[in-house]
Structure formats: C-alpha cells, structure tokens
Structure 1
Amino acid sequence: MATPSKVHLTVDDTGIVSFKPQTAEAAAKASELLQENHDKHHIFFNKDGFHNHIVHHLLSLYGLGAPADVIEQRYKENASYQRSPFQLDERVLEDLNNPENFKKYLNKEKYYIDFLTFWQNEFEKKGWENVLNEYVFAGDERADDLLGRFYGGFLHPIIHLGFGIEFHQPAIIAEALAQACCHDNWTGKFLLAVEKDSKSRSSASNKTLPELLDEIRANKKLSTAAQWSDANKIRDGIIARASEEMLSYTSQWIVTPETLEEKTAEMINNSIYFTAAAQHPPKQVKIDFYYMHYVNSSIFYPTFNAQSWLSIENKVRMLQWKGYLDLAMYASRRSPPLLLNEITDYEPVKPEAADWNGIFTRLFEFQDDGHAVKLGRAVRNGELICGKWAKGEGEWMKVKGGMWEKIGNMLIDSVEDSGAHWARSVGFEEAWKEYGDRKGKSQL
C-alpha cells in the first residue's frame, strides 16, 4: 500500500494515457527505484536548482507500459549524477510546526529533507487531501504563497504534484510540497497581481488563448520586451518592461465553473500549438525547451479537475493561473510566429514507425532525463482530451486530426537528430545559431 513515506505502484496505477498494459514485474521495479530515489536523492541535483526528474521519467515510462528493464536502465542513467539531501535537523523540523518560523526556511534548498519529513508527518495525521486544502488551497495568505511556489521553477513543482496525484502516491505528493517550499515566489506574486487585475477589469471577454497569442505577437512592446541577456525572461523581461501590456491580455482569458472542462481542453490544445508550431525554417525542426514544460504540465489538469476533495473554485483558479503563465511564457520568448504548416506538412523521418506505437517505442529507448517521453505522453493526452470537442472545432482548436501524430514524430525525430535535443528560447534569432539546416548538416 502506498503511504506518505512508501512508494507502491500496482498494475492499475498507470495514469490517464494508456499504451501497453503493465506487468507486476514493472510495478515492483518502478516502486523499488522510486523508493530509492525518495530515500537517497535531493529534489535538485545541484545547488543551482536543476531538478531531479527521475519521478517524472519513471512514471511516464511506467504509465505507458515500458518494461522493467527499460525503467531500470533509464533510472541508472539519471541516478548517476544525483546528490544526497542534507541531514534531517530535528530543530528545524520542530520549527516548521510554527507558522511564523515556517516562513524563514522557504526558498532554501538545504531544508528539502526537513520539509519532506514535515509534510509526511502532516499527511500521517490529517491525510494528504486535507493537508493540501489547508496549506495550498485555503485562499489565505499562507496558502496563496505556497500555491504560487508550485507555479515557479518552470512549473516543476506542479508537474511533480500532478504525477503524485495521478499515480496515487502520497510520498511523491510530499516530495512535491517539499520541492515547492524550496522555490522562490516571484511567479506567485505575478499571478496574484494578474488575478487581482483581471477581477478589477470585470471583463466580459470570451477571447480564446490562440486569439490572445496573435494579439500579443502584434504588440511590439510586449513581444520584444524580453532581451537575450535577461536571466529570467518572464521576470526580467515581461514583468520588468511590459507588465501593463501583459496584464491587458491575461485579463481577457476567463474561466468559469461552467466552462472549466472546455477551457481545460483549450489550454491543453493551445500549449501544444504554440510549442510545436514555433519553428524557424529552414533550420532543423526543434522543440523549444521552455515552451515544452507548459505542455508537460498541461496533462495534469484533467486529473486536478477530477478530484472530489478539491473545490470547483480552486479548479477554476488553478486553470486560470496556468493560462496566465502560458501567455506570459509565449511572450517571453519574443512571441515567435506560429507556423501550422510546419506541423501539417511535416514528413516523418521513419514513416514505418510514425504511429503512436512507433513513437512511444522509440521514446522508451531514447536516453535523456525524461523530458521527451513526458512530452510525447502529454501530446497524446491532448489528442484524447480534445477529441471530445473535435466536432465543434471551435476557434481555439488549432491542433486536430492527423496533426497529433505529426507532432509526436516532430518530437522523436528532432531529439534523435543531430545537434542539441532542444531549442532554447525559440523566438530569439541568437538561439537558432546553433541549429543547422533541415538535414542537420550546417551549424550556423
């Protein structure tokens, strides 16, 4: 049985995207390795805050039906560079029980194990659902601060939370909470400001996310606000130089309890659209590394919506915040042109393995830290979720029909191709100097 300190997967804990059924052997191996990661590794593999992706990688593989030997091989490749957490400090652990003292340990990665133990203890006493409602979704200052931290770090904490909930693992939910505590909260402050501004405008807008992307691109002050030299292109570019312009667009995307399900599909479709269509012909097809995280996090919102313990108001709020960040992220990479024909006209490198079976089989064998298989699973989820709305084909549905598998092929072909696996900040001309022509022969 899965507990706040023990990872235990069953053959039924395979998530929301099916490919191949799982085996008891794979369930046991994945549980063993995730437990080892839980017990022995820090949530960051270095002091610069680079995330440990083992949970994301192994659960993506396991959910899609990867065999035990593949799961173990991918684990070994990425466990080699992880580091151990600092030792538990009983004095700190006691201090965390005081709300005023709790604050002074936030945004300090050295206290990861203390936070992890604190959340595990809280889960044991109250249940993880009640703890999340108390500490993250209560709507008070403390909860809003922690919720904001979940949206930091390119959404890694909320991705981690999503995996824990989707696969029914309280120990991984505890890891997610501890990870969020180790992040700063400038993202949350931005989102609260956007939320406040949106409410003050009392807008009756029914604009879709793709419409707003087009308007953002047309606004030259906003679409060029980020500079290549900015350390963080949302914080130091968009917020610092064009916050009013950004607010004017985010306030026009509105989610209500009545539109939650469709707006969830719209968000998923849109994140995949601006990530896949942001190409730079005649350079190699590559996926932007930063945009990719907004697809990889999109898969969890149907799971969040399905939670009976989470209020409809919080489900709406979580989705609204995701939409706000999607718009800001698009702008932060200088709002590149979105070329749908790059998707529709794409010719797979391996037409004999161009369906989802071929795509996932190749992703099982691809050696990285899990970003690629996460992205493939999230794109397939988009196809499944958006299929319900395909007949209406509203203006928000940019990705549809055969485009889903085309994007899957763009993904696996591009990471298997020459050069870096991912583009970095696709809207900046400078970022494309490292990528060659369509055949990868010229490094410009």
Structure 2
Amino acid sequence: MTSVSPSPTHFNLTNAPGASPPFRTPPEGSLETASKLLQENHERFHIFFNEDGFHNHIAHHLATLHALGASTSQLQSAFSNNTSYQWRLKPATQDLSNPDTFAKTLGSNDDYASYLRFFEAYLSTHSVPNTLSTYLFTHTPQANDLLVRLVSGLLHPLLHLGFALRTAQPALTAEALAMAAVHDNWMGKLLLPAEERAASTNAASTPAFLALVDEMRTDPTIASAPHWSDGNKIRDGLLGRAAEPTIAGLARWRVAPTEEAVAKATAQVLDGTAWLTLGAQREGKAPRMDFFLIHGVNAAGVWAPVLLGRGLGREIKVKDRARLCEWIGRVAILNYLARGAPEPRLEAVEGWGTGDGWDSVLERACELPDDGHAAKVVRALREGEDICKGVEGGKMEGKWLKGAALLVDSVEGHEDRWVRGAGFKEAWEGVPAKL
C-alpha cells in the first residue's frame, strides 16, 4: 500500500505529502487500517443514511481518530459500530459531464453516486486546488451556488472537505464536493446578500468576532426570531422573521485578503465558536453541549490550519482562504443565533478539571462509542490551544484542555449526550440536575 499514492479513487494515509501530522504518534498499523476503512466506506456507502438527510460520519470519525493517534482496534470499532445503518451506495445513473445536466441534478440525494463519479473523474486530470478554484471560488453563479451547498447541512460538506485537505486524500475531496452537490441551497438567501453587502464596506472596520456576535444576539428582532417550535430555526426563524437585520449583521464580518488578516480572523472564529459552544450551559443543570453548536467549532478547528496556509492550504489563494473564513464565521453566527443565543457561562469551563492532561483526554475521545461528534470537538479544541494564543477578544486562553475534559465528561457514559437548542429552556428538559 505504501507505494501507491492517494488518488481520487484510492486512499493511502501512509504516503500523503501535505497531510497534517497527528497529535500523537500513530500506533503500528493504524495508518494502513484507517486507509482500508476509508476505502471501504468510499466504495460501499452513501453520504446520507436516511431520507431526512442525516449524514454518514464514518470518514469524519476515522480522520479524526487518526489525528488523535487512535489504535487499529479503536479505528475498527468506530467503523464497525456505525456501518449497520448506512445506505449502500448504488451505481451512478447520470452522466453529469453536460453542464445543464449537472445543474439540473443539484440537490438530489439519489444522485450522490453520479456526482461522486463525476468529481473522481475530474480530479484524475486536475489538481485539488485547481478543482476547488473552478467549482467553488470563481464567483460565477454556479460556483456561488455550490459554495452555498458546501456550508449547508450543518456544515457537513465543508467539514468533509476540511478532512480531505488535512489528510491529503483526493478521494475525500471527491466525496466532499459530491456531498455538497446533493445538499440544498436556501441558505444562499442569507449568505449571498451578506457577501454582496460586505463588499461595499471597509474590512478594516470589522468588529472582533465575539463582539459582533454579542451585538447581533442582543438585537431584539434577531433575538425573538427563532422559535422553539420551528422545524429549522435558521430558515424559519432568522430567514423567515429577521432576514434584513441578520443579513446586515453578517455583512459586518469581513476578512481582508491578506495573510495577517486571515490569521487574526481564523483565531477569532475558532476561539469564539469554542467559547460559545462550551459556555452554552444551563444554571442548575449538568453540563451538556449543544449538538448544533459543536458543528461550528468542529468546522473552525479542522479548517484553521488550512486557512492559515499550512499543508495543502498553501496551494489555496489567500483571497479564497479569506472568503472561506468569512463564510465559516457567518454560518457559525447563524447557527448560534438560531439556538436561542445562549449567553455563555464562564464558570462552566473555568471550574472544570483538566482530565489528567491532553494525552488522557485524547485517549478517552478515541474510546467513545459514538459516531465521532465528540472526538471532533476534542480535536478542534486541541487545535485551538496551538492556534489561538493571544487572540484579540479571545475567551479560551488557558481553558482549552478544561473544555475538552468537560466535553468528554459530559458525553462519557450518558445516553442523553447532547441538547439541541441550548438557549431554549425546553432543550434542557430531561437533563439531570447539576451535582
């Protein structure tokens, strides 16, 4: 396996120039095991596992465990525990080489295999950076549409692409772009007008990330827009009842296309999403993380080194990395506001222990019998400790390890691992009292 380079159809973590180094030395055989399991997932399973669009997280989980230094048995358990409910991947039925067919088929989850084969073929003759530039960053209506789809579905396609770049696996890039293609694009009604409005403002006047979040969450129109009864609190609440002030606020998050500005903004978004997620606790209740909020910090964590131009990130133009940092920040803000904008509780993190250090917390994350959500948060927090030192307006200095220990403690051994909508009292019904 070591002699075969990664390709759009073949995984190989043992020979992946540009990949991010793991936080712990991979045990013997783990790279080969992770590669084999990623290959099996690629060939056997769809990106969704039900009609509601719930995502197959196997690739995210395996890539995360690899970064945390998981053993072969931990990797195999993570895979085996999450295969029984996956949809099998059916043969491709569409020839998407015709641009009209490509466009007309967007948003159809039945056609994931067709998009996967299309992007595998495209990546066989084009580099990953060239492919991303063509399909995401050219500012054409088609590229803008796919970029919107990339950040839809609670950021899952974006997360997938982040793992692809961090592991230097073109096959994951093919999966990520195919995944984006079968998502919807209604978030463009918020994100595209915000980008257009931002282009006419001065990037130098952008407030710090958390300062902007605080301004928006205290806007009475925005604060009252999401309702507990909404089926989708971004679509029905923020877009449906407060589109204008929401777009105006999002437009104020600007990142200038310079390395210095991208580095500053990247650290602010990672620090901010971590703080908003960990601090979203309820007085008198045992600690729990919001299932929706964790996706913001997970995306910020996996993308941070790429946005900083490390690894394969150096092959993405700084203007495109700046734009991605804007979009990641804006979607994180939307996600937070939609969960009832819970005011962060500083004491929830400050009063927690450190779980016997990073090595212990990383190992516990590798042992968790879930689908990878918790391990991804731990990984993001470990990234944050390195990347966010001295960040302007930051809250997490000295709290990254405590936050990771709090996260693991909140899910380890609990069936009710997450709350959904932490700013609403109804989300906490059933969560036990704080001891």
TM-score by length of 2: 0.94
Read off the aligned partner of 1:58 and give its amino acid letter.
L
Contact 1:40 1:84 in 2 (8 A): yes
| Residue-by-residue CA offset, 1:2-43 (whole Å, 9 max, x unaligned) | 111001111777954643211451111111111010000001
**For 2:15 and 2:70, how far apart are their aligned partners in 1?**
12
**For 1:379 and 1:305, how far apart are their aligned partners in 2?**
17
Q: 1:38 maps to what in 2?
A: 42
Note the C-alpha offset of 1:131: 1.8
**For 2:19 and 2:357, how far apart are their aligned partners in 1?**
21
Q: 2:170 maps to what in 1?
A: 170
**For 1:97 and 1:125, how far apart are their aligned partners in 2?**
14
| Residue-by-residue CA offset, 1:265-298 (whole Å, 9 max, x unaligned) | 1111001010011110110100000000001101
Which runs of 5 or more structure 2 residues have no equivalent in the other structure?
none
Q: 1:59 maps to what in 2?
A: 63
CA RMSD of aligned residues (A): 1.7
Contact 1:14 1:64 in 2 (8 A): no
Read off the aligned partner of 1:103 and give its amino acid letter.
A
**For 1:101 and 1:345, how far apart are their aligned partners in 2?**
56
**For 2:209 and 2:24, how far apart are their aligned partners in 1?**
33
Q: 1:335 maps to what in 2?
A: 341
Contact 1:152 1:188 in 2 (8 A): no
Measured at CA, do residues 186 and 301 of structure 1 come closer, stay the same or move farther in structure 2, by a change above 3 Å?
A: farther
Q: 1:80 maps to what in 2?
A: 84
| Residue-by-residue CA offset, 1:80-137 (whole Å, 9 max, x unaligned) | 2111122222xx12xx111122111111111111110011111112233222211111
What fraction of aligned residue pairs are identical, expressed as a percent?
A: 36
TM-score by length of 1: 0.92
Read off the aligned partner of 1:303 and give its amino acid letter.
V
Contact 2:194 2:248 in 1 (8 A): no
**For 1:172 and 1:48, how far apart are their aligned partners in 2?**
23
Are 1:294 and 2:300 matched, yes or no? no
| Residue-by-residue CA offset, 1:40-95 (whole Å, 9 max, x unaligned) | 00011112111000001011111211111110011100112111122222xx12xx
Contact 1:269 1:386 in 2 (8 A): yes
Measured at CA, do residues 83 and 359 of structure 1 come closer, stay the same or move farther in structure 2, by a change above 3 Å?
A: same
Please, which moves more after superposition, 45-54 or 251-260? 251-260
Q: 2:251 maps to what in 1?
A: 251
Read off the aligned partner of 2:73 and give its amino acid letter.
D
Task: Give the aligned length.
Answer: 425
Measured at CA, do residues 201 and 240 of structure 1 come closer, stay the same or move farther in structure 2, by a change above 3 Å?
A: farther
**For 2:82 and 2:19, how far apart are their aligned partners in 1?**
22
Contact 1:85 1:110 in 2 (8 A): no
Measured at CA, do residues 412 and 264 of structure 1 come closer, stay the same or move farther in structure 2, by a change above 3 Å?
A: same
Q: 2:25 maps to what in 1?
A: 21
Alignment of 1:189-204 (within 5 A): 189-202=189-202
**For 1:38 and 1:18, how far apart are their aligned partners in 2?**
22
Q: 318, 332, 343: which is aligned to 1:312?
A: 318
Read off the aligned partner of 1:265 and give its amino acid letter.
A
Which runs of 5 or more structure 1 residues have no equivalent in the other structure?
440-444
| Residue-by-residue CA offset, 1:291-343 (whole Å, 9 max, x unaligned) | 00001101213214422332221111111111111221111111111111221
Measured at CA, do residues 13 and 47 of structure 1 come closer, stay the same or move farther in structure 2, by a change above 3 Å?
A: farther
Are 1:413 and 2:409 matched, yes or no? yes
**For 1:166 and 1:336, how far apart are their aligned partners in 2?**
31
Contact 1:7 1:35 in 2 (8 A): yes
| Residue-by-residue CA offset, 1:408-441 (whole Å, 9 max, x unaligned) | 11100000154511111100111111211013xx
